Chain A
Amino acid sequence: MSPEAIREQVFQALADVAPETDPASLDPDRPLRDQVDIDSFDYLNFIIGLSERLGVTVPETDYASIGTLTRLVEYLAQRTPR
């Protein structure tokens, strides 16, 4: 899957937990959770949503390395069949 397609899936998963988010306003290199008002339940639901959409399960131990949109998309791209 292309990084653009992954990014689109990420935005849709994000919209499921934080519908008021405007994807265009997000800085891809700033921590996502600083920019979107989501709590730990929303974040877990976001991770579940990614797993359902892309078939990639992010272990908790990797949470620290997917903090920004850029890093999250890179992480998912490496694990999604092309």
Chain B
Amino acid sequence: MPSLGAEMEKGTLVEWRVKPGDAVTRGQIVAVVETDKGTIEVEIFEDGVVDSLLVEPGTKVPVGTPLAIVRGKGEPAAAPTPAPTVAPEAGRTRASPLARKRAEALGLDLGRVKGTGTGGTITVADVEAAAGGASGAAGAGTGAEKGAEADRQAAMRRAIGAAMSRSKREIPHYYLASDIELSRMLAWLATHNAGVPVARRMLPAAPLLKAVALALMEVPELNGFFTDGAFRPSEVVHLGVAISLRQGGLVAPAIHDAGRRTVAELMDALRDLIARVRAGTIRSSELADPTVTVSSLGDQGVREVLGVIFPPQVALVGLGRIGERPWVVEGAVQARPVITATLSADHRVSDGHRGGRFLAALDRLLQEPEKL
């Protein structure tokens, strides 16, 4: 079970897309798992042949649990190891994972539930009995689907809350903001868009993301992971893009190696990602490995975004609304399109001086859009 974000502890295997004996290649989607962030397509990281599947669909297992055995080409069949079920957490109330989830959904304190399972383990039935049967009513009849959706939203809200609490607890944030004049960039974009079919038009987000990725390559202290007490910079920029879900909540999947893609490729990648996020088909690698995140709230009219960093990342870039503002040009005030770009960064890794270099680089890059 792959880790699809810092706060993920478990996932439910929903579906296998392969069977024993199938040949698989690196990057192929082999399974679908359900997490607090929604349904994720799991990719495989090596070539080989599926020897055996270790986890049945519908089973919830902890992160790190082997899901299947894959043989390299020419390797003999291995003896399968049984999949561990979720172990009881030491020093905590013993409860089955399902019971724990049900209790969370019901807002019930597990300490008050009497366990009737093996060794006093609390089962789902115990939780529902303790909740006075209210849950049975909620899950019954026509309300069942709505109840499941509400559960999913509540789970996602908790996952976001846990990640953001950890961020605010552990990361000493500092915040910087710069106003960037965009008339050159927008003129370049308008010219491009006037000359292509409507389906090939680009939005300002595409050149903005490209410039962010290039600026990050100039200031590597903002791109990577802080884990085990040390910063590990990333060679490439996997740009996490915060995308809101129609039904509430958000995910921030990655556009891989954004700095080396053309602006048009970034537009395609962004369009594809948004469509898949909304359809619920994100891939495991996209959720697991953004090295930095961009949050753009300009469509909501927000002027500046003072964001919370997603651990273990060390920076978040905020983009506000592009709007006409008074701008002084050679001593005279003119109306010019301006965006406020912000940086939230981790003081354990960088200082305001380096953060300022990033915003200055972003400004410089956006003044020469044809070079992006």
A interface residue numbers (CB < 8 A to B): 20, 37, 39-41, 44, 47-48, 51, 57-61
Distance from B366 Cβ to chain A, minimum over Cβ atoms (Å)? 17
Q: How far is the CA of A44 from the CA of B274 in the complex (A)?
A: 13
Are B299 and A60 closer than 8 Å at their CB atoms?
A: no
**Interface residue tally for chain B (C-beta within 8 Å):** 16
B205 located at the interface, meaning its Cβ lies under 8 Å from any Cβ of chain A in the complex: yes
State how many angstroms separate the Cβ of B109 from the closest Cβ of chain A: 35
- Residue with the highest number of chain B CB atoms closer than 10 Å, among A20, A39, A48: A39
Beta-carbon contact of B199 and A40 below 8 Å: no
Do B271 and A60 have beta carbons less than 8 Å apart? no
In the bound complex, what is the Cα–Cα distance between A41 and B246 (angstroms)?
A: 13
Shortest Cβ gap from A62 to chain B (Å) = 11
Q: Is B190 at the interface (CB under 8 A from chain A)? A: yes
B193 at the interface (CB under 8 A from A): yes
**Shortest beta-carbon distance, A43 to chain B, in Å?**
9
CA distance A21 to B199 in the complex (A): 23
Query: Distance in Å from the Cβ of B295 to the closest Cβ of chain A?
Result: 13
Complex alpha-carbon distance, A51 and B203, angstroms: 17
B residues whose Cβ falls under 8 Å from a Cβ of A: 190, 193-194, 197-199, 201, 203-205, 246, 270-271, 274, 298-299
B193 touches A40 (CB 8 A): no
- From B197, B201, B246, B270, give the contact of A60 (CB < 8 A): B201
C-alpha spacing A54/B204, complex, angstroms: 26
B299 touches A40 (CB 8 A): yes
| Residue pair A60, B190 in contact (C-beta under 8 Å) | yes
The residues of B that contact A59 with a CB separation of less than 8 Å are: 194
Chain B binding site: helix, strand, loop or mixed by DSSP? helix
Instruction: Provide the bound-state CA to CA distance between A58 and B199, in Å.
Output: 11
**Contact across chains for B205 and A60 when beta carbons are under 8 A apart:** no
Using CB atoms, name the residue of chain B closest to A41.
B274
Report B182 CB to chain A, min CB distance, Å.
14
B271 CB, min distance to chain A CBs, angstroms: 7
Known: A40-B205, A60-B193. A47 touches B198 (CB 8 A): yes
Contact of B203 among A20, A37, A40, A58 (CB under 8 A): A40
Q: Is the interface of A mostly helix, strand, loop or mixed?
A: helix
Closest chain B CB from A31 CB (angstroms): 13
A39/B199 in contact, CB under 8 A = no
Are A57 and B274 within 8 A (Cβ)?
no
Q: By the criterion CB–CB under 8 Å, are B194 and A48 in contact?
A: no
Cβ–Cβ contact A48 & B199, under 8 A:
yes
- In angstroms, Cα B193 to Cα A57, docked, is 12
Asked if A57 and B299 sit within 8 Å, CB to CB, the answer is: no
**Which A residues lie within 8 Å of B271 (CB)?**
41
**Minimum distance in angstroms from A27 CB to a CB of chain B:** 20
Known: A41-B274, A60-B190, A60-B193. A48 touches B198 (CB 8 A): yes
Complex interface: chain A residues within 8 A of B199 (CB): 48, 51
Tell me if A39 and B299 are in contact (CB < 8 A). Answer: yes
Q: State the CA gap A61–B299 with chains docked (Å).
A: 18
Distance between Cα atoms of A3 and B299 in the complex (Å):
30
Q: Which residues of A contact B246 (CB under 8 A)?
A: 20, 37
Contact A51 B198, beta carbon cutoff 8 Å: yes
Are B190 and A44 neighbours in the complex by a CB distance under 8 Å?
A: no
Chain A positions within 8 Å of B298 at CB level: 40
The distance in angstroms between the C-alpha atoms of A44 and B197, with both chains bound, is: 12
Chain A residues with CB under 8 A of B270? 41
Interchain Cβ contacts under 8 Å between A and B, 22 examples:
A20-B246, A37-B246, A39-B299, A40-B204, A40-B205, A40-B298, A40-B299, A41-B205, A41-B271, A41-B274, A47-B198, A48-B198, A51-B198, A51-B199, A57-B197, A58-B198, A59-B194, A60-B190, A60-B193, A60-B194, A61-B190, A61-B194
